[in-house]
Structure 1
Amino acid sequence: MSWTAQAEVLADTTELGADIALMAGRCRATGLDPRSFAPIMGAAMALGSRPWHVMDSPYGSDQELISDLLDKIDDLYGRFMTYIKLRSAITRAWAWANASFATAACQKPPNQAAMEHWARVRGDCEAALETLHSLPRKVTSARTSLTMAPAEMGETYQAVYDLLSQGRVMPHDGRWLTGEELPC
């Protein structure tokens, strides 16, 4: 597989963005305050997804939401580390292609076939690096947004958690906070 093809696969954040948009849709279906899951929406948008059109089944508990959140943070970290490894390999291949091209050009007579080959490799590397150019910004932005989500949710729902931890009850069943199903 060419360097450009590998870069295109890695740079395609469509599926990851859709997964995070689905999380936002589940937060909306759960009935959470939109301000509390705004970082999740921001992460989806950073990856090119539009989370306001997505709706899905509600979260059954806050633990389920936090588990999904941590999984996506791990996925983004993994994507970033894979980016670093691929970029490093491409950079090494580009340097090798440059040196090999120069060696072929310095032969008497110049080795045209080798020069053409190494020029293609160098072009592939340059195209791959261009393809990867915006990936670290997108992934870092999405990961930063997701890491802010627990604090935003905690800030929004802290008073309710305090109330419940004191053994008191809310005036209405807070299905997401208690993890209990509402009777039909």
Structure 2
Amino acid sequence: MDEFSAPAEPCDLAIEAATMCARCRTTGLDPAAYHPLIGAALALGATPAAGADGPYRSDTDLIDDLVDLISGVHEHRAALQALTTQVLCARALAGRSNNAAEAADCEAAAEILADTSKRLNAALSRLAAVPAQLGETYEAAYTLVAAGRHLPHDGRWITGQDMPP
């Protein structure tokens, strides 16, 4: 199995998702608005933590981070699919050459890759729900702004509170 190069563990993606959850919390967003993001962080193996990197200054900053996270998960999934193909080919070759040890190694690797694939797919499913959930939760605020009106205060998106220093 040494000849195969594994994609980076989704650990970096999990940390990114957990950090985004923390920033949503610090921003003061309703947890119901970003609960799909929490689900994605959990699917990637992270437990969302409190406070990190400060609050989001705007909804576009959050959406930019979301797009980056989704792109990262897609990249990991593509690398995982390529690696899975390599492992399955190696397993077939090991079977033909009656190399039981190598076939067993390939089988174990295939199981790990299948589990990782399920986690990435679950994360993508949850991430796909984030924009709709945010929109549903904050629909009234977006409607107000789209009509040319202003929110109460330039600070906390909806509450009108000043941003912490």
Q: Given the two structures, how large is their TM-score scaled by the length of structure 2?
A: 0.86
Task: Indicate the residue corresponding to 2:61 in structure 1.
Answer: 64
Q: Show the 5 A alignment for 1:128-147.
A: 128-147=109-128
* Structure 2: distance between partners of 1:153 and 1:174: 18
Can you give the 5+ residue segments of structure 1 that lack an aligned partner in the other structure? 102-117
Asked whether the 8 Å contact 2:10–2:76 carries over to 1, the reply is: no
* Structure 1: distance between partners of 2:58 and 2:136: 17
Residue identity matched to 1:33:
D
Task: Indicate the residue corresponding to 1:55 in structure 2.
Answer: 51
Can you give the 5+ residue segments of structure 2 that lack an aligned partner in the other structure? none
Q: Show the 5 A alignment for 1:91-130.
A: 91-101=88-98, 118-130=99-111
Q: What is the percent sequence identity of the aligned residues?
A: 40
CA drift of 1:170 comes to: 2.7
* Structure 1: distance between partners of 2:117 and 2:57: 33
CA drift of 1:15 comes to: 2.5
Q: Show the 5 A alignment for 1:73-88.
A: 73-88=70-85
Which of 16, 36, 44 is equivalent to 2:13?
Answer: 16
Asked whether the 8 Å contact 1:59–1:176 carries over to 2, the reply is: no
Aligned residues: 161
Q: CA RMSD in A?
A: 2.3
Larger of the two Rg values belongs to structure: 1
- Check 1:183–1:143 CA distance in 2 against 1; reply closer, same or farther (3 A cut): closer
Structure 1 residue ranges (4+ consecutive) displaced by more than 3 angstroms after TM superposition: 171-177, 181-184
Task: Indicate the residue corresponding to 1:42 in structure 2.
Answer: 39
Q: Given the two structures, how large is their TM-score scaled by the length of structure 1?
A: 0.78
Structure number with higher helix proportion? 1
CA drift of 1:133 comes to: 2.7
